Amino acid sequence: KNGFLVRKVHADSDGKRTPRGKRGWKTFYAILKGLILYLQKGEYRPDKQLTDEDLKNAVSIHHSLAMKASDYSKRPNVFYLRTADWRVYLFQAPNAEQMQSWITRINTV
Ligand code: I3P
């Protein structure tokens, strides 16, 4: 599965709150391949190579949990992703259907 997602980093590994200055929303082209969610910056091209920065942004979804961010009301169609090492991301999908589809795909791999 792939598509545009807007990401906010809420907690770093071990659940530590991500500091100010690193909590802004950023748009990525997301590609879910196996147990890795790749997040590519910039324009989408099917043949685009992953840069070193893209690889740093990649998220392991092994033993992770995605769920609708019902307590977050500043933006619509936002879901949480909590990873096995207790990172927490918020992702905004383009619409409700896409949000649900990402949640289902992440939770059923
Ligand atoms: C953050 C940015 C986020 C905001 C976050 C800020 O600043 O403005 O949009 O989250 O607030 O810290 P920076 O880009 O300097 O990290 P919201 O959009 O959810 O308000 P927060 O610290 O309360 O999460």
ipTM of the complex: 0.97
Euclidean distance between CA atoms 91 and 43, whole angstroms: 18
Out of 10, 18, 20, 23, mutate this one to test ligand 1's pocket (max ligand atoms within 8 Å of CB): namely 23
pTM: 0.96
pLDDT per residue as tens, the chain (109 positions): 999 999 999 999 999 999 999 999 999 999 999 999 999 998 888 888 889 999 999 999 999 999 999 999 999 999 999 999 999 999 999 999 999 999 999 999 7
Going by alpha carbons, the residue nearest to atom 5 of ligand 1 is 23
Contacts of 79 (CB under 8 A, 6+ apart): 66, 67, 68, 69, 90, 91, 93, 99, 102, 103
24 lines ligand 1 (CB under 6 A): yes
CA–centroid distance, 46 to ligand 1, in Å, is 31
At residue 37, the pLDDT reads 98
The residue whose two tokens read 């383009």 is 94
pLDDT at res. 46: 83
Cα–Cα nearest to 102, from 8, 32, 13, 24: 32
Name residue, tokens 């092994």: 62
CA 92 – ligand 1 centroid, Å: 14
